[in-house]
Amino acid sequence: MSDLLQLIFSGLSIGAVYALIAVGFVAIFTVSEVINLAQGEFAALAGLVAISAVGSGMPLPVALVVAIATVTVVAVVMERVTVAPVKRLTTLTSIILTLGVSTVLKALMLLIWGPEGKGLTPFPGGDLLVFGVSIRAQELWILGIAAVVAAAVWWFYERTIVGKALRACSEQPIAARLVGISPKLATMLAFGIAGLVGAIAGVIASPVYFSSWDSGLSLGLKGFVAATLGGLVSIRGALLGGVLLGVLESLVAGYVDTGLRDAVAFVLLIVVLVVRPAGVFGRHAEARV
């Protein structure tokens, strides 16, 4: 029993990271139909910036703010430089564009931080043992921060005027323009949000899961799969998808074979695309097409 709980708990913690990255995919896709392949790189970059900031003597909270702010700015600049100038942006062009950005970011990270993976200083707190389940303080931080961010994202989209404007852009683009919502501004904002949540995912994950120039690839893939579980348009679906994927991976690794851990995401993706392309949790989907 404690084995099962242990596996589920460790799955929840990596799942929370996937969930935040998935939110980034959804935030951008709903507003602009852009699939942002640099989403995982946001997380890797934030982790590396935070490590360097701590290394230069900054206190951990300051370093986190610096890293998250830096990556948010990078995300907005990326939108301004690569996405905004394109006149007729299709999803396919967006994939090619953002793949290019992702490659550039990876190369820059490799040049600046070198090839070796590093971990950020763990957040404060001691490890716990509850019902035979060993819990790292960092895992509690991951779950707690992810929950707060998820709640904040929900509040933003459901309760604020700006958030509602973004939802309007995604559900009724033409009507949104008619009432005066600028799609350009909305896209920029969406990239900012994606950068912000991606960066948060990156810094909270770094102490346990490490950051390196290429760690964004697997995080991005898993986040994308999680977002797909929600049809790529549902924040709630993306959050649930991330957690589900994390737990499934952990259970498969524990009870079936550790070698199959990374296969879980892809099997899930294929099943979802074949059986329910609108997403497992998709309910708002009909409104989109």
Partner 1 sequence: MGPRNARRLAAGFAVLALGLTACAEDAGGDSTAEDQSGPIKIGAVLDITGAGATLGVPERKTLEMLAKQVTAAGGIGGRAVELVIEDNQSTEDGAAKAVNKLVSQDKVDLIIGASRTGPSLAMRPIAESAKIPMISLAANAKIVDGSQWVFKTAQNDKVVLEDIVDQAVAKGWKSIALIRDSSGFGEGIGEMLTELGAPQGIKVVRTEKFAPDATDFTAQMVNIRNAKADANLIWGIPPAAGLAQKAYKQLGVTGAVIQSHGIGNQAFLDSAGPSADGLTAPLGRLLVADQLTADDPQKKVIEKFVADYKAAYPGESPSTFAGHAYDAFQLAVTALGQVGTDGQKLRDQLEGVKGFAGVSGVFTMSATDHSGLDKHALAIVTVENGAWKLLDANR
57 forms part of the interface with partner 1 (CB under 8 A): no
Contact of 241 with 226, CB cutoff 8 Å: yes
Interacting span for partner 1 (CB under 8 A) from 50-58, 87-95, 140-148, 163-171: 87-95
Q: Exposure pattern of 115-146 as b/e (b: 16+ CB <10 Å)?
A: eebebbeebeeeeeeeeebebbebbbbbbebb
Question: What's the CA gap between 183 and 246, in Å, rounded?
Answer: 34
**102, 105, 120, 241: which one binds partner 1 (CB under 8 A):** 102
Task: CB nearer to partner 1: give 86 or 151.
Answer: 86
Assigned token pair, 237: 């679906």
**16, 28, 35, 53: which one binds partner 1 (CB under 8 A):** 35
Min separation Cβ 147 and partner 1, Å: 20
| DSSP annotation string for 265-277 | HHHHHHHHHHH-T
Question: What's the CA gap between 154 and 146, in Å, rounded?
Answer: 12
User: Residue 15: what residue type?
Assistant: G
**97, 208, 238, 239: which one binds partner 1 (CB under 8 A):** 208
Which DSSP category does 83 fall into? I
Binding mask 242-281 for partner 1 (x = CB under 8 A): --------x--xx---xx-xx------x---x---xxx--
26 forms part of the interface with partner 1 (CB under 8 A): no
Query: Quick one: which of 257, 252, 255 has its CA closest to 15?
Result: 252
Binding mask 115-144 for partner 1 (x = CB under 8 A): xxx-x-------x-x----x-x--------
Assigned token pair, 95: 């994939």
Task: Give me the residues that bind partner 1 (CB under 8 A), please.
Answer: 3, 6-7, 10, 14, 35, 37, 91-92, 95-96, 99, 102-103, 107, 110, 114-117, 119, 127, 129, 134, 136, 208-210, 212-214, 217, 220-221, 224, 228, 231-233, 250, 253-254, 258-259, 261-262, 269, 273, 277-279, 282, 285, 288-289
